Structure formats: C-alpha cells, structure tokens
C-alpha cells in the first residue's frame, strides 16, 4: 500500500451522451499527493478537473481504475474516505435555515467527530474564522464573505488530513480570493494534503507545490513549476500550459 495520502491509479470515468455517444471525462489518469503539499489540478473548463475531484470525494463512482484516500479505496470504502476528506466547492450550498454554529455542529456530527471534543472544535473554528458576531445568525442572512468562511469551516470541522478545493475562488472579489489563498497556505503548514483545482494561472503559480495539467480527461504533465519550466523552456505558467495542451515539442509525462 502506498504511503501517500492520495494515490490515483488509471482512474477513468465514462459518461454516455445521446448526442455525443461515449464521453471519457476522465481518461486513465494517475498521480500521487504528498503530505503537506498543495497539489494543483490545472485545466480549462471541461478538462475533467471537477469530475476527477468528485470521483475522489465518492460523489461519483469510477468506470474503472482506482484511488485511495489515506489507504481507503474510493469504491470499496466510501464512508472511510469521506471521514478522511474535506470537500469544498464555490457551488457547495449550505443549509439556509441553520445558524453558523448549527452548521458546524451538524457537519462535525455526520463526519463522526468525537462527541466529547465536538463543542471545543466548533468553538475553535468560530474563533479562527472570526465568526463570533455571526455564529447565531441563520446562514441565509449572512454576507457572501461570511458564508464563504462558514463553508470553509464546515469543510475542515472534522479535521480531515486531506482537503479538496474545487475552483474555490470563482465568484469571489479580490480580497476574499486572497483570504482564501492565505487559508490554503495555513492548511498546508498544518501538514494537510490539499488538492486544488483551478483554471487561473496566477493562483496555481502562487500556491501549488506541484502542478498537474489536465486536458480532455488526460494528465499531460505533473511536476513542480520549476521542473515544468525546465522541460518547456517557458517561464510563465500560461505559456507552459499552452505548450502542453497544443503538444508543441513536449512529451506527455507520467505522474510523479
């Protein structure tokens, strides 16, 4: 068994569309994520990023291949996978009639956080995210920035070792996007493994320890930014990305 927190092996997801027939949204991808790193999944809209992350989160089932989160196989042990995983998406909805405190209590409970430590964990996150003045307000009455903080706190309330952030800055203003990026850095410093999908090149350059470029369901490269620069001769990630997607003088790389 791999010692990596996340191991993906030949993972494939095929959909069937009446107009297009067989659609290979994820096409035999493999990669590993290390402890205490932000692993970037970089691709254009429709490249397969979100499908990949939904497979890892057990929201979707794979057509073939496998993936393990903290040693637990996504298809065979989905409950254990979810206990070890936090999933955040900008489109993830909160329950509007619950208060911020009730939201955190609820998600801690369904993710089996120990009863004896639950109140302390919730109170810690309320303080960490600056929710004290809003903790008893219903979610539907919070500002977008406060909702974002509640949603991040919900993602980490059970203290999972692996976190998935699927294009988390979509729709955020500059200040909230920067705050999100700061939070990701803090989680990395705590030793958590973070999978971060984006199509924003500057975010990937700033945050990611390693970057996987995904296109048409396939991973075309998986390396540090500096290694990608050396392989392509390009400095800027945008140019590196175009080189790989267009196949201009680079070889499709295996994951590492």
Residue 242: its pLDDT value, please?
Answer: 94
Could you tell me which residue, 44 or 120, shows the higher pLDDT? Answer: 120
- What single string gives the DSSP state of each residue in 84-136? TEEEEETTPPP-TTSBHHHHHHHHHHHTT--HHHHHHHHHHHHHHTT-GGGTT
Q: Tell me the β-bridge partners of 186.
A: none
In percent, the amount of the chain with pLDDT more than 70 equals: 96
* Residue extents of the structural domains in the chain: 1-84+161-256, 96-159
pLDDT greater than 60 at residue 256: no
Confidence band, pLDDT 50/70/90 cuts, at residue 137: very high
Report which listed range, 118-122, 166-170, 196-200, 202-206, is most confident.
Answer: 118-122
Residue 247: its pLDDT value, please?
Answer: 83
Residue 252: its pLDDT value, please?
Answer: 46
* Mean pLDDT score, 122-134: 93
Q: What is the pTM of this model?
A: 0.90
Helix ranges (H only) for 129-216 are 144-156, 174-189, 201-207
* Mean pLDDT score, 117-131: 94
pLDDT greater than 90 at residue 200: no
Residue 160: its pLDDT value, please?
Answer: 96
Give the separation between CA 171 and CA 168, rounded to whole angstroms: 9
* Mean pLDDT score, 41-66: 94
Give the separation between CA 105 and CA 233, rounded to whole angstroms: 50
DSSP 8-state symbol, 45: T
Minimum mean pLDDT range among 104-113, 168-177, 209-218, 237-246: 168-177
Confidence band, pLDDT 50/70/90 cuts, at residue 249: low
Q: What is the mean pLDDT of the chain?
A: 91
- The tens digit of pLDDT for each residue in 57-81 reads 999 999 999 999 999 999 999 999 9
Residue 62: its pLDDT value, please?
Answer: 96
DSSP 8-state symbol, 56: H
Going by CATH, does the domain composed of 1-84+161-256 fall within 3.40.50.300?
Answer: yes
- The tens digit of pLDDT for each residue in 75-95 reads 999 999 999 999 998 777 889
Strands 210-215 and 218-223: antiparallel
Three-class SS state of 256? coil
Residue 16: its pLDDT value, please?
Answer: 87
* Mean pLDDT score, 38-63: 94
Residue 180: its pLDDT value, please?
Answer: 86
Q: How many Cβ atoms are within 10 Å of 17's Cβ, its own excluded?
A: 8
């Amino acid at each position: 068994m791999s010692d990596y927190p996340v191991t993906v092996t030949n993972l494939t997801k095929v959909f069937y569309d009446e107009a297009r027939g067989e659609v290979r949204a994820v096409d035999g991808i493999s990669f590993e994520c290390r402890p205490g790193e932000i692993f970037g999944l970089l691709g254009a809209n429709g490249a397969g990023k979100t499908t990949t992350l939904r497979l890892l989160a057990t929201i979707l089932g794979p057509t073939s291949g496998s993936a393990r989160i903290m040693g637990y196989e996504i298809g065979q042990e989905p409950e254990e996978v979810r206990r070890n995983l936090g999933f955040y998406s900008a489109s993830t909805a909160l329950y509007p009639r619950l208060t911020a405190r009730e939201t955190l209590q609820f998600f801690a409970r369904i993710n089996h956080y120990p009863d004896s430590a639950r109140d302390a964990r919730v109170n810690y996150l309320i303080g960490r995210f600056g929710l004290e003045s809003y903790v008893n307000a219903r979610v539907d009455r919070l500002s977008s920035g406060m909702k974002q903080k509640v949603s991040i706190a919900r993602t980490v309330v059970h203290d999972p070792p692996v976190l998935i952030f699927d294009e988390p800055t979509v729709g955020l203003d500059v200040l909230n996007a920067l705050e999100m990026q700061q939070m990701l850095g803090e989680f990395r410093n705590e030793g958590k493994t973070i999978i971060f999908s984006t199509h924003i090149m500057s975010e990937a350059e700033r945050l990611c320890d390693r970057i996987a470029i995904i296109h048409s369901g396939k991973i075309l490269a998986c390396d540090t930014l500096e290694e990608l620069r050396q392989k392509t001769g390009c400095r800027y990630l945008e140019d590196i990305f175009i080189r790989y997607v267009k196949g201009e003088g680079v070889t499709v790389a295996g994951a590492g």
